[in-house]
Amino acid sequence: MNVYTTLQKLCAVPSVSGREEKIREVLREAITPFADEVSVDALGNLIARKKGSGEGKTVMLCAHMDEIGFLVTFVEENGMLRLAPVGGIHFHASAFGEVISEKGVRGVLVPNAKTKAADYKADQFYIDIGAKSRKEAEKKVKIGDFFVAEGGVRRLLGKRITGRPLDDRIGCAVLLAVAGELWSKPLSGDVYFVFSVQEEVGCRGALPAAFGIRPDYSLCFDVTATGDVPEAAVMVCELGGGAAVKIKDSSVICHEEVVTKLCALAETEKIPYQREILTAGGTDTSSMQLAGGGSRAGALSIPCRYIHSGVETCDLGDAEACVKLAVAFVKNL
């Protein structure tokens, strides 16, 4: 399965946290050929199962399918839409960008005319959809509608790509590729592929999914920051360095057995990898770790520059390394 081709399809579908229905249907169609069972739980997580022989450990592999965005809170008399952020919005990165609603209404996100860049906050921004009045705007938009920044992905030099929402559609693409690789292979234990909801607002979806599955082992696929741009915080992760084996982020300390096994497999299989410590930010790894009586949880991250902007930038080689390492991990349990 070609990760870039998959990403082009996934990044074109707007699905903010709490409104993942559209991307879920795209992912359901993509995962069904590689699963014995496919279901959706009460919170909206998409869960696909590949059955094993019943003699081995249960594994949960997870990537979140939601993205950050904006919620319409008020319509001004002149037709401008006031908003609230959904997830971690960097308004400096979002200002003067194109947005699209869950209903396909297009607009632009801009600050109040006299607002200085140093004062960028949610209450200083509005969305202009081109309406001349509140009456005209309310024919297209209702209070509670969601908008997201315009999506899409493009190639840069070599294997580098840019666009949004690579966080975390690239994780979803990796998960689909892993499912494709494992489908024809006999496995001793069940493998669950979970595309979770509402990660961007508190890692909510993965928790009930993990409690339902109660995996022995779990792996999360998400992006991580890098230290390879000017004046970046000190960090060893870089684009093109391979799969990032997470040791810690602000929400989790990964299970030592999982970290050790992933690194050993990468060495044996000659898969490029790097060790990741993320000092700010969390992932669904923390939710999966708490499942039932506890899960041996780890994560394979894809290094990403400019996270939560319109120009998130990754290296396809790192995503491909994550696929290979995840397949090796599941086969060797």
Residue 54: pLDDT over 90: no
Per-residue burial over 52-68, b = 16 or more CB atoms within 10 Å of its CB, e = otherwise: beeeebbbbbbbbbbbb
- Structural domain boundaries of the chain? 3-67+165-331, 69-149
Q: Rounded to whole angstroms, how far apart are CA atoms 164 and 36?
A: 31
pLDDT at 291: 81
Tens of pLDDT, residue by residue over 197-215, are: 999 999 999 999 999 999 9
For residue 317, which of 245, 243, 236, 206 has the smallest C-alpha distance?
Answer: 243
CATH of region 3-67+165-331: 3.40.630.10
Q: Rounded to whole angstroms, how far apart are CA atoms 168 and 309?
A: 12
The CATH class that applies to domain 69-149 reads mainly beta
Does the pTM of the predicted model rise above 0.75? yes
pLDDT at 292: 82
How far from each other are the two terminal CA atoms of the chain, in whole angstroms? 24
Q: Rounded to whole angstroms, how far apart are CA atoms 85 and 87?
A: 6
Tens of pLDDT, residue by residue over 136-174, are: 999 999 999 999 999 999 999 999 999 999 999 999 999
Residues annotated as catalytic (active site), given as ranges = 199
Tens of pLDDT, residue by residue over 73-118, are: 999 999 999 999 999 999 999 999 999 999 999 999 999 999 999 9
